[in-house]
Amino acid sequence: MAVDATMPTPVVSAPGTGSATGNKTASDKTTGIADNFQTFLTLLTTQLQNQNPLDPLDTNQFTQQLVQFAGIEQQLKSNEQLKSLVEIEKGAQATQALVYVGNTVAIDGSKAQFDKSATWNFNSEQDTTAKITITNSAGQTAYSGNFNLKKGGSSFVWDGKGNDGVQWPPGTYTLTATGTDSKGNNVAISTEVQGVVDSVDLTSSPPLLSIGGQSYTTDKIKRVMRSKS
């Protein structure tokens, strides 16, 4: 085990009626007033023919109806465009997540998957003496010790050996760090888990990165450390 003080789109107008291309079929198209002028004329003449001669529809009311029809149509078209934008965003998230596969990343947290070694990063508000305790999933203390941490970032690499020198088995371990200054006052220490992204679950929305058996979204990543060749 060691302590290292060095931190590692414009809106598209409504589509016209016509044969569909690609995977789209003609039945998938949504026709509206703006798509078919003949439909507009049929609607206009039908309403004029069926109005009460003794109480004809006011011109302004008729115009308002046409405006309402057009407004509803525009909303439907906007919904279609929003669906397309959502699909594009999902594709972008998947592409972004795939970039992390195989890279070493640091994320907020205290639980790390130990297999031969485990690494945690610290960030201290000031120079402090920190008590570091590592426990397994059952709550048993695997290791504990006191270390002097400098203000800022540092890292702790655990080789899996306890205070008695016994090697602990692979598994999930939690590190806690409690710091105090020269006057005995508590010093806040934030912890990060460092590990390799071994896979990405693209069926989830947003995609989930798998790091040491734990799943995280990309917004949890604080840093990326590329492996040295």
Evaluate if residue 53 carries a pLDDT over 70: no
Place 6 in a pLDDT band, splitting at 50, 70 and 90.
Answer: very low
Taking the CA of residue 187 as centre, how many other CA atoms within 13 Å lie in the half-sphere pointing to its CB? 23
User: What pLDDT score was predicted for residue 1?
Assistant: 43
Domain around 91: 58-98
> Which span out of 58-62, 88-92, 107-111 was modeled with the highest average pLDDT?
107-111
Among 72-86, 89-103, 209-223, the range with the most confident prediction by mean pLDDT is: 209-223
In terms of DSSP H, where are the helices of 27-164?
Answer: 37-49, 59-98
The answer on 141 and 62 residing in a single domain is no
Q: Which of 22-36, 71-85, 147-161 has the lowest mean pLDDT?
A: 22-36
- Which one of 1-15, 20-34, 166-180, 192-206 scores highest in mean pLDDT? 166-180
Where are the extended beta strands (E) located within the chain?
Answer: 2-4, 104-108, 111-114, 118-124, 128-136, 141-149, 152-158, 171-180, 186-187, 189-201, 208-211, 214-216, 221-225
Judge if 68 and 160 occupy the same domain: no
CA nearest 217: which of 85, 86, 109, 82? 109
- pLDDT tens column, 129-183: 899 999 998 999 999 999 988 888 888 999 999 999 999 999 989 999 999 888 8
84 and 123 in a common domain: no
Domains of the chain: total: 2
pLDDT at 7: 37
The residue type at 85 = L
Burial class (CB in 10 A: 0-12, 13-18, 19+), 160: buried
Residue 24 lies in a domain: no
One domain, residues 215 and 131: yes
0.75 surpassed by pTM:
no
Residue 121: strand, helix, or coil: strand
39 occurs within a structural domain: no
Whether residues 206 and 178 fall in one domain = yes
Cβ neighbours of 137 (radius 10 Å) = 10
